[in-house]
A = this chain, B = another copy of it.
Amino acid sequence: MKTNAGRFFEDYRVGQVIDHAVPRTISGGERALYHALYPARGALYSSDAFARACGLAASPVDDLVAFHVVFGKTVPDISINAVANLGYAEGRWRKPVWPGDTLRARSEVIGVKENSNGTSGVVWVRSQGIDQTGETVMDYVRWVMVRKRDAASPAPEPVVPQLAPAVAAADLAIPAGLDFTGYDFTLAGEPHRWGDYAVGEVIDHVDGVTIEEAEHMLATRLWQNTAKVHFDATFREDGKRLIYGGHVISMARALSFNGLANAQMIVALNGGAHANPCFAGDTVKAWSEVLDKAPTAAPGVGAIRLRLVAVKAGAGDPLTLKEGGKYAPHVLLDLDYWALMPL
């Protein structure tokens, strides 16, 4: 049997390190596709000239590209037999990715806990993207529920990692050279500075995008994410293709430009839930809430912690996140991240 059936719950043990396959060189092609797939307009990620005026060598690719590439590479080893993607924590972007960089991915198993039903368990991994120089460009913890190969196999000693509820502001990695003191708010698209946002403030991003099968498949393949459920209409009983959760993340993040145009760089992923599945035909809208703010050591640069919520348009009150303790059916995404803004 030469095809990869993937790992089952009993194949993971704490401390195990998995080097994921298929390294990837990023080019301007990936950036152009990112802009075609999402309404991304962050000036720092669109213009070399703007990025240089902010102290970077050139315009990097959108921060979520690194996340998607790493995530995609982990799929065959981590989530091919997953029942559910349960959460994210402690994600940090450590350096930007530019066209020409080559990324590979590695995961370490940091927790395992069998479910009481004996047929599945939860696996925690810390995954990292590594560039051609051997440096980590980003890392994050993800935990997934994975089927057991054999219900009769014994449960491992449970290890549940202690995860930070959010990355501490002091731990945020600021890209080398970043300087927002000469930031051009006109070219960036909005006048709102870090000081203009108040904790607790909610921003309705107004715009919406109706999703097509061709688009989410193009995106998901671009990140070499091969989970069958995204591509094969014969795979699920209902004939639907489940949209990769990361597609919704990038769509919501791009929509958040309208009101958060200056929340330029994502530097941490504190947590996130794919509240409900998304399917082609859904219209995605988004709103954000300011959760926290912190200064940074970089000139002119402040950090802002944001909750980003994606909802299906026309399917319920956008601001109602939960009903009876559970996510309401129209909620697609509830994400918590840190971004960098000009002071």
Residues of A that sit less than 8 Å from B by CB: 2-4, 19, 21-25, 27-33, 35-39, 41-43, 46-50, 59, 76, 99, 102, 104, 132, 186-190, 192, 196, 203-210, 212-215, 217-219, 221-222, 224, 226, 228, 231-235, 241, 258-261, 281, 283, 313-314
CB-CB under 8 A from A21, the residues of chain B are 41, 43, 186-190, 261
Contact call A3/B47, Cβ cutoff below 8 A: no
Please report the C-alpha to C-alpha distance between residue A46 and residue B212 in the assembled complex, in whole angstroms: 26
Please report the C-alpha to C-alpha distance between residue A50 and residue B25 in the assembled complex, in whole angstroms: 10
B4, B188, B192: which contacts A258 (Cβ < 8 A)? Answer: B4
Contact call B187/A23, Cβ cutoff below 8 A: yes
Contact call A27/B25, Cβ cutoff below 8 A: no
Contact call A22/B212, Cβ cutoff below 8 A: no
Task: Give chain B nearest CB distance to A318 CB in angstroms.
Answer: 12
CB-CB under 8 A from A59, the residues of chain B are 25
Please report the C-alpha to C-alpha distance between residue A59 and residue B205 in the assembled complex, in whole angstroms: 39
Contact call B31/A204, Cβ cutoff below 8 A: no
Contact call A104/B187, Cβ cutoff below 8 A: yes
CB-CB under 8 A from A188, the residues of chain B are 21-22
Closest to A212 in B: B214
With A32-B30, A217-B215: A3-B258 Cβ-Cβ less than 8 Å: yes
Closest to A227 in B: B207
B2, B226, B260: which contacts A41 (Cβ < 8 A)? Answer: B226
7 contacts between A and B (CB under 8 A): A27-B99, A29-B29, A36-B218, A206-B228, A207-B228, A212-B217, A214-B214
Closest to A204 in B: B3
